[in-house]
Structure 1
Amino acid sequence: MSANALPRIGGLRPGPRDAISDVAGVTVGHRTLAEGPVQTGVTVIRPHAGDPFRDKVPAAAVVLNGFGKSIGLVQLEELGVLETPIALTNTFSVGTVAGAQIRDCIAHNPETGRSLPTVNPLVFECNDGFLNDIQRLAVGEADYQRALADAGADFAQGSVGAGRGMSSFQLKGGIGSASRLVPVGEASHTVGTLVLANYGRQPELRLAGHAVGARLAAL
């Protein structure tokens, strides 16, 4: 089924993939770990095909709920640029993935932290203890590299990558993405989003104004 055949909320048209990769140059990759009690992974969003440390991208952030363990957010807000891909993983793997980002930057820019400035890794997390034995610290630096190598314009959604162990509205959560074409004067601009859904109680779930969660909870 094509993206344009799926049910849709709102009046704006989606891009051809209805995904964040409709924004020119943006790609997404996953590394999923799914074996027994280990149900976790890494998701990487690349802003372009080049080296973001050398070719920085304007960036900003808004925190709606500060209950999270990110790395790199303060400097991003201070300087307003992205220096690495955006990485998503589980709560206990943030440091490991940040280390992988630093090593990757050094590999491509050997003078990082010497004659060149240091790099600001950017990693966000959600607690996937719903399905994953998070104490196993299963995610390694190589998993970040595999997610990075997997990045493409066409990517899986659902229970993959960082979304593997997620729960949303007491149902299975995961990775979702969408895009919309926004007309501004005679021009059209693409807005893309990627969500790592891991929140909510079932009675609070509403779709297009309908109290779907309350109906499910009553079954």
Structure 2
Amino acid sequence: MQSPRRIRELGLVVGTLPTGPLNAITDVPGVRVGQTTITGDGLNTGVTAIVPSGWETTLPAAVAVGNGYGKLIGTTQVDELGVIETPILLTGTLSTFRVADAFLTWLLDRNPQATSLNPIVGETNDGHLSDIRRRPITPAHVHNALDNATSDLPAEGCAGAGTGTTALGFKAGIGTASRTLRTSPAGGYTVGVLVQANFSGLLTVLGRPVPAPPIDADGNSCMIVVATDLPLDSRQLGRLARRAVFAMARVGSDYAPGSGDYAIAFSTSRTATYAERDLRAPFQAVTESVEEALLNSLTMAHTTTGFNNHKAHAVPHDLLR
């Protein structure tokens, strides 16, 4: 038996850049996260909502596709216009469309004049631990996640959209991390990420492989949401999003053929004034944050027995040490 602990609580430090106060996506000013978790009766699933301030009047954004075996709703408009006009929701694969419909109701209630909206909903397949064909997500679950989003440290591991996911041979789930970039004595910027980890490979921690027995799971994917207050345009955010997918390799992803690996990056700033030559530090911040968030998704998860008595074991903390 072990208690969920973040990777830094185990004495393992990823990278060299300083973290934000919470070491979470919610360190980015104006970004909130809400989650609904569903367990019991063969179910381990849920909804995770990333809600940035200012979404009502659009925010610059971009999507990077590592492997497109997935259902990320709303991507073509983000690619075309370079903005998001809604929060971002994550869930289990076959619930994606029910979540999108309930999300649309929530959006229409807040904009009585709208005749076109582009909800962003991503997914990974939690069918190993949850009866995915039941599609149990209801509008109440979706609205609860959106309405109760806060700027607190988001729950990690077996929470929200990560309740039933596995990664790298162990129980995984939601993970988050952040990095700060000081650009003047008066302050700087923040890069934060949140991941929904559900992919295969050989777990690697700080460059060291940690072998695990394979899990015969249905589907292997990863959703990564990158938030920042850096004044970046859509093209620059696309460069950050690609680095987020690259960073999966640092924890041992094998980028399997059946994996849907996506990153969506957005900025809470609408003024794109950041010089290309200065992107080295933001690239490093994204890479370190994704690596740490993925490890947090594992070390904060607990052993779970789910649908058809399938089991996913938590990664042993002593093994990592």
1:57 and 1:205 mapped to 2: Cα distance? 35
Per-residue CA distance 1:125-164 (angstroms, 9 max, x = gap): 0000010000111011211101112211112111000000
The reply to whether residue 159 of structure 1 matches residue 168 of structure 2 is no
Q: Does the aligned pair in 1 maintain the 2:74–2:119 contact within 8 Å? A: yes
- Quick check: 2:169–2:203 contact (8 Å CA) kept in 1? no
Contact 1:30–1:151 (8 Å) recurs in 2: yes
Contact 1:18–1:177 (CA under 8 A) maintained in structure 2:
yes
In the other structure, the counterpart of 1:171 is: 170
Q: Distance in 2 between matches of 1:131 and 1:2?
A: 23
Listed as ranges, the gaps of 5+ residues in structure 1 are none
Specify the SS of the correspondent of 2:151. coil
Structure 2 CA distance for partners of 1:38 and 1:7, relative to 1, 3 Å: same
Query: Is the contact between residue 4 and residue 16 of structure 1 (CA under 8 Å) also seen in structure 2?
Result: no
1:30-45 correspondence runs (5 A): 30-45=35-50
Q: How far 1:185 moved relative to its partner?
A: 5.8
Q: Which runs of 5+ in 2 are unaligned?
A: 214-318
Counterparts of 2:34 and 2:12, CA distance in 1: 25
Give the structure 2 partner of residue 90 of structure 1: 92
Letter in 1 for 2:162: G
The equivalent residue for 1:131 is: 129
CA contact (8 A) 1:4 1:18 kept: no
1:99 aligns with 2:97: no
Q: Does 1:209 align with 2:207?
A: yes
| SS of corresponding position for 1:62 | strand
More helix by share: 2
Q: 1:41 to 1:2 in 2, by over 3 A?
A: closer
Amino acid at match of 2:207: G
Identity over aligned residues, as a percent?
Answer: 43
Q: Does the Cα contact within 8 Å between 1:3 and 1:17 map onto a contact in 2? A: no
Match of residue 25 from structure 1 = 30
Separation in 2 of the partners of 1:127 and 1:104? 24
Corresponding residue for residue 110 of structure 1: 112
Question: Does the CA-based 8 Å contact 2:179-2:192 persist in structure 1?
Answer: yes
Q: Distance in 1 between matches of 2:173 and 2:58?
A: 28
How many Å separate the matches in 1 of 2:13 and 2:143?
A: 34
- The corresponding residue for 2:145 is 147
Give the alignment's TM-score, normalised by structure 2.
0.61
> For residues 6 and 84 of structure 2, what CA distance do their matches in structure 1 show?
32
The answer for the alignment partner of 1:120 in structure 2 is: 118
Tell me the alpha carbon deviations over residues 59-98 of structure 1, each in whole angstroms, 9 at most, x when there is no partner: 1111111111111011011111111110000111111111
For residue 123 of structure 1, report the CA deviation from its aligned partner.
0.2
Q: CA deviation at 1:184?
A: 3.8
